[in-house]
Structure 1
Amino acid sequence: MENIIYIKDFTEYPGLRHCSISDDSGEEYYHSILNQAFKNSYEKKQKLVINIDFTAGYAPSFLDEAFGNLIYDFGIETVQKFLEIVSEQEPDLKEMIISETFPQWEQRRNNNDEPKKTKNHQKWFRLEEGEITTKSY
């Protein structure tokens, strides 16, 4: 069984990387939707499917921030196991996320290079040593 979410349900017009520079940012999407949805799928041992189609387009920084934070908080192996990105309209963006964002953010995770937070977010989840923990800003 899998859980499917559409970025278009968050916004038709995705913004830029951070909340401080744009409405509907990648940072906001991660903290308001993606983190909780992925944690739920992980706990249920289900795949989370993210459909990136049906928006007006993306700044690459939106996708980098949203999916990069996911890698930072859960690790590349866990994300690859429990996440599927689908896109018929933007296959190049899907490939960019997998081949560029994922390894770059795994490197950040390994270097303990914490992602920038530009507003106070509700508590979010992180996988640390096989256990789900809660983080806050």
Structure 2
Amino acid sequence: MNIGNVAQALDMPAKTIRYYESIGLVTPKRSQNDYRHYRPSDVHKLGFVGRARSLGFSVEDCRVLLALYEDKDRASADVRKLAGEHLARIDAKLAELATMRETLAHLVECCAGDTRPDCPILADLAGAPDAV
């Protein structure tokens, strides 16, 4: 398959596929005229990485996951550990977002939103001591 066919099949930009090649996640064969030719195994790897990225795994995590996937002697505990660490990062981010939301909701509630110039949202962002 050429890069256009792979991009369409995986719904992944060709630029992303080239990037994954440049960092060594996939190594397609090259024809004499230097065109990329993606084997089914390359397409599978790209799909694997795309799915992992959609779950928020970093590129380096994807590299480790691919290595684990290809290692038939792997321990599932290694995969679980990596996924568990990622899940903990997601949970921490969700807690951070919940705190941000709570603060912003309070500021929006305190703002009259009328024609007066005073605004508790701007006061808080400016670090005013008596804001809200």
TM-score grouping bracket, smaller chain normalisation: under 0.3
Richer in strand (by share): 1
TM-score, scaled relative to structure 2: 0.21
Flag the structure with larger Rg. Answer: 2
Higher relative contact order (CA 8 A, sep 6+): 1
